Amino acid sequence: MQVEQKNNSIDLFMEVYNCNIINIVYKLVQIVFSVIFETAKMTLSLFFPSTLSIFYQKFLFCQKLFCHFDRQKE
């Protein structure tokens, strides 16, 4: 009985632990993409202002993907 409870608690711990790792990796990916997009936005606005509209379309598409993933996680 105690061994079974111990195994259940270990399984629960591993499930929570894996979920936390996924959330941390997801947040890191969001941060990396945000830095890349902000750097690209500044570079484009300085050197190639005519391409900003194309950039914003790609940026909005990626933001929609992140929002869609957030909704699926819940």
The span from the CA of 46 to the CA of 9, in Å, is 56
The span from the CA of 11 to the CA of 1, in Å, is 15
List, as one string, the DSSP characters of 22-59. Answer: HHHHHHHHHHHHHHHHHHHHHHHHHH-GGGHHHHHHHH
Query: What are the average pLDDT values for consecutive 10-residue runs of the chain, which has 74 residues?
Result: 53 62 80 83 80 75 72 56
Q: What is the pLDDT of residue 41?
A: 79
Domain count, the chain: 1
Query: 17 is in which domain, residue-wise?
Result: 2-73
Q: Is 0.75 topped by the overall pTM?
A: no
